[in-house]
Amino acid sequence: MSEKKVARIKVGKFGVGIIGIQELMEEMAETYADKDSGEIQAHMLEQLGKSNYIPSGARAEYGRAFLREFRKFMGQSYEEESSGQMEIKILGPGCPQCDQLEKTVMELLTELNLPADLEHVRDIGEIIQYGIVSTPALLINGKVVAKGRVPTKESIKKWVTETAACR
């Protein structure tokens, strides 16, 4: 029996590790591509509930998150859920430059005492969905602020503080 992978997804304002979601989406791709949202959510909740803890009071949120991940996986349009705080994404496969950018952003957020949802997207397929071909890339609230290079700490600080001031 092969071991199922754990993928981190956003459920509401939390990052949650889900066992087997990637494998389930691969299995569902052919038969569920044209199904309605309710059917997809119900199936994913049932299947993923077998190996993951899904709190009964949060089933609807998990269902929306599973649907979003499935739509994203299928290359279909989906609605991103906002956590209400600044969202920063580092796009890059995990090369030294990408990891350095992630470290710099984390240090800067700590120094400035700014809350943010920070995610390092390493999956090439997902990176391509953003239209990015040069990594590392830095996105703040969905806007690409740098790509193909590691920006200076001062540049990142400027972008982050400007974004925080607009909230």
For tokens 């949802």, name the residue: 117
- Give the C-alpha separation, 40 to 135, whole Å: 33
What class does CATH assign to 86-165?
alpha beta
60-111 residue pLDDT tens = 999 999 999 998 888 877 766 655 678 899 999 989 999 999 999 999 988 9
- Decide: 119 and 90 in contact? Cβ < 8 Å: yes
Domain boundaries, the chain: 6-74, 86-165
More confident residue, 97 or 8: 97
DSSP result, 124-149: HHHHHHTT--SSSEEEETTEEEEESS
Catalytic residue numbers? 95, 98
Q: Please work out, in degrees rounded to the nearest 5, the angle formed at the alpha carbon of residue 144 by the alpha carbons of 132 and 103.
A: 90
Could you tell me what percentage of the chain is helix, strand and coil, using 3-state DSSP and rounding each to the nearest 5? 45, 20, 35
- What pLDDT, on a 0 to 100 scale, did the predictor assign at position 6? 84
117-152 residue pLDDT tens = 888 999 888 888 788 889 999 999 888 999 999 999
